[in-house]
């Protein structure tokens, strides 16, 4: 019988439920258990695919093409399972399914209601992950207890122990235990209130994970345990990590959370095997090298907009035992201040994906700067398209080369709409999405990185390189080193005779892991390290960069 863990959050949002859930998944897998993970999001959008990065951070794309919440990125990076469409449901999706059933007459004339119809649909979504090959399903409920939107989800998980047996379900509640400087003490009242709210709904948590800035004494934990009706060993401290997010699972392990879970479920397992994680922590704590990378994007000021990219750079740093300082640079600022002022001194320049015209010229200027100065360059999706535009304009002399996304009537549409996209009018799930195979050309930087002839990577785009221009580009020295199996779509372009100039139409950042850096990120960082060590007079690090591990660390809520 599959066991279920439900993770809820209280007191404040952004308390780190995604990371904590992923860490629990990782620890249980390290004990040899088979884990599947899922997030239920209370918002009404069918998926985050149509939301602005300002609203929701990055859209994380799965192999099967679903556009999902960025917490799924944590799940895939921390655990081994590949997630599917069933790993992320929103209120929008749940209602859509119920309404479709109603339109097909499946409710046989009944009044369709939140309870039981919506809650049944939610329960089905959860149970879809429970199969004979799964020991534990971890379901994270988005939002904060007390939100109106979240109520049907909480009601559904309240009902599940009735269906499955209380002994097969566990409720883990993440809460904030603030430290009041003026009083010089931690405060447990918000936690008591939050648990009180859960109990009103009918959910008694089994475990409390307390996010805190200051350690919680045994005495305080006893107090929380007493008021919240849980055993003291189930009050787990999760102190803010100012070094790295990869410390979170280790700290939960130190507080014996995994042990508590398996005991409570009566599951047989060995102590967690964490060698790979220990090694990555060692590499992170003992860097032998240091480089700086500029990520030039439209949403640079938003910490979560390119989350997987920043993390993938960290992974490549772990791989090379290299500390990477990442500078998040607005492409619009490059347009105003010029690349020389903002980009000089970096060891590598990365242009991530994106949509819309704002900042495009800044990206094109950044790419020119990298190309002309032999600075390692990595372009991803829109970053690849901008590389094609830049090369067309400056090397081939097609002064007005552009993408039809930004200039419909350009005389040189070097990037144009994919054929399959021409008649698409509806938004949401309509791009070229998910895993697609790609054939690599031998003797290319990509082939050297992957060490493989055929790869599979995830996509999310509507536009492509225009094949009418292929010959012209090749004649001027550009190489198309990755193509779709029928040769019809350009997936990778490269400039040989350059320190590293690789741009890809797909999103490699969705497949990098802390214990297994993505080959293209590892190669890019390797090239940047080479550049740094090759520069005779070491220039100081640019001062607008920050330590990579810190940029992605848990910050106090």
List interacting residues with ligand GLN (CB under 6 A): 353-355, 381-382, 405, 460-463
Cβ closer to ligand GLN: 178 or 353? 353
Look up 416 and say whether it is catalytic. no
> Within 10 Å of residue 350's Cβ, how many Cβ atoms?
29
Kindly name the residue from 405, 457, 509, 547 that is annotated as catalytic.
509
Cβ closer to ligand GLN: 262 or 382? 382
Residue 185 beta carbon to ligand GLN: minimum distance, rounded to whole angstroms = 48
Determine the residue with CB nearest ligand GLN. Answer: 353
Cβ closer to ligand GLN: 447 or 461? 461
Cβ closer to ligand GLN: 230 or 389? 389
* Cβ-contact 376, 369 below 8 angstroms: no
Look up 302 and say whether it is catalytic. no
Residue 355 beta carbon to ligand GLN: minimum distance, rounded to whole angstroms = 4
CA–CA distances in Å: residue 343 to residues 330, 362, 391: 11, 11, 19
- Residue 181 exposed, middle or buried by CB count within 10 Å (0-12, 13-18, 19+): exposed
Residue 354 beta carbon to ligand GLN: minimum distance, rounded to whole angstroms = 5
Kindly name the residue from 381, 386, 416, 438 that is annotated as catalytic.
381
Residue with tokens 């949002």: 13
Residue 317 beta carbon to ligand GLN: minimum distance, rounded to whole angstroms = 24
Give me the long-range contacts of 299-303 (CB less than 8 A, separation at least 24).
299/53, 299/54, 299/354, 300/328, 300/329, 300/330, 300/331, 301/328, 301/330, 302/53, 302/54, 302/57, 303/57, 303/328, 303/551
Cβ closer to ligand GLN: 400 or 421? 421
CA atoms within 13 A on the CB side of 102: 13
Residue 507 beta carbon to ligand GLN: minimum distance, rounded to whole angstroms = 7
Q: What tokens appear for 394 in the block?
A: 């400056």
* Cβ-contact 233, 252 below 8 angstroms: no
Look up 509 and say whether it is catalytic. yes
Beta strands in 400-478 (DSSP E): 401-403, 412-417, 432-440, 454-461, 463-465
Cβ closer to ligand GLN: 120 or 421? 421
- Tell me which residue of 7, 30, 32, 31 sits closest to 20, measured CA to CA: 7
Residue 421 beta carbon to ligand GLN: minimum distance, rounded to whole angstroms = 8
Kindly name the residue from 56, 319, 459, 507 that is annotated as catalytic.
507
Catalytic residues: 381, 507, 509
């Amino acid at each position: 019988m599959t066991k279920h863990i439900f993770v809820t959050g209280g007191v404040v949002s952004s308390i780190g439920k995604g990371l904590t859930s992923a860490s629990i998944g990782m620890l249980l897998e390290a004990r040899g258990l088979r884990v599947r993970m899922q997030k239920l999001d209370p918002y009404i959008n069918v998926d985050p695919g149509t939301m602005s990065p300002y609203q929701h951070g990055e859209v994380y794309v799965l192999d099967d093409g679903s556009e999902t919440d960025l917490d799924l990125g944590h799940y895939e990076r921390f655990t081994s399972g590949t997630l599917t469409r069933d790993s992320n449901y929103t209120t929008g999706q749940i209602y859509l399914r119920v309404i479709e059933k109603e339109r097909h007459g499946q409710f046989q004339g009944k009044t369709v209601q939140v309870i039981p119809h919506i809650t049944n649909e939610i329960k089905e979504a959860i149970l879809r992950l429970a199969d004979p090959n799964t020991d534990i399903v971890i379901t994270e409920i988005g939002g904060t207890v007390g939100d109106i939107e979240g109520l049907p989800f909480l009601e559904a998980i309240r009902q599940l122990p009735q269906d499955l047996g209380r002994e097969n379900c566990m409720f883990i509640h993440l809460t904030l235990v603030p430290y009041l400087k003026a009083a010089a003490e931690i405060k447990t009242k918000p936690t008591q209130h939050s648990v009180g709210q859960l109990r009103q709904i009918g959910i008694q948590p089994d475990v409390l994970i307390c996010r805190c800035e200051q350690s919680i004494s045994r005495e305080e934990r006893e107090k929380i345990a007493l008021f919240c009706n849980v055993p003291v060993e189930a009050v787990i401290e999760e102190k803010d990590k100012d070094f790295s997010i990869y410390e979170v699972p280790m700290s939960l392990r130190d507080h014996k959370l995994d042990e508590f879970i398996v005991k409570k479920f009566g599951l047989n397992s060995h102590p967690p095997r964490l060698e790979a994680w220990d090694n990555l922590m060692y590499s992170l704590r003992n860097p032998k090298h240091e480089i700086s990378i500029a990520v030039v994007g439209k949403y640079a000021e938003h910490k979560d907009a390119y989350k997987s990219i920043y993390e993938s750079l960290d992974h490549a740093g772990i791989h090379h035992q290299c500390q990477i300082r990442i500078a998040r640079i607005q492409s619009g600022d490059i347009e105003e201040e010029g690349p020389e002022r903002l980009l000089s001194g970096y060891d590598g320049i990365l242009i991530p994906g994106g949509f819309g015209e704002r900042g495009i010229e800044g990206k094109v200027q950044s790419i020119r700067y990298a190309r002309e100065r032999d600075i390692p360059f990595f372009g991803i999706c829109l970053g690849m398209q901008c590389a094609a535009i830049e090369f067309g304009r400056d090397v081939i002399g097609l002064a007005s080369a552009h993408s039809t996304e930004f200039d419909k009537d350009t005389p040189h549409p070097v990037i144009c709409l994919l054929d399959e996209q021409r008649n698409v009018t509806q938004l949401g799930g309509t791009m070229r999405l998910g895993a697609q195979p790609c054939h690599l050309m031998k003797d290319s930087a990509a082939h050297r990185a992957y060490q493989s002839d055929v790869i599979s990577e995830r996509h999310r785009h509507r536009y492509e390189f225009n094949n009418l221009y292929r010959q012209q580009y090749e004649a001027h020295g550009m190489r198309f080193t990755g193509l779709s199996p029928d040769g019809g779509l350009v997936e990778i372009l490269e400039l040989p005779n350059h320190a590293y100039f690789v741009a890809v139409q797909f999103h490699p950042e969705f497949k990098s892991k802390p214990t297994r850096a993505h080959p293209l990120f590892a190669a890019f960082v390797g090239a940047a390290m080479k550049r740094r060590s090759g520069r005779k007079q070491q220039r100081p690090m640019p001062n607008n960069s920050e330590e990579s591990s810190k940029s992605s660390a848990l910050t106090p809520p």
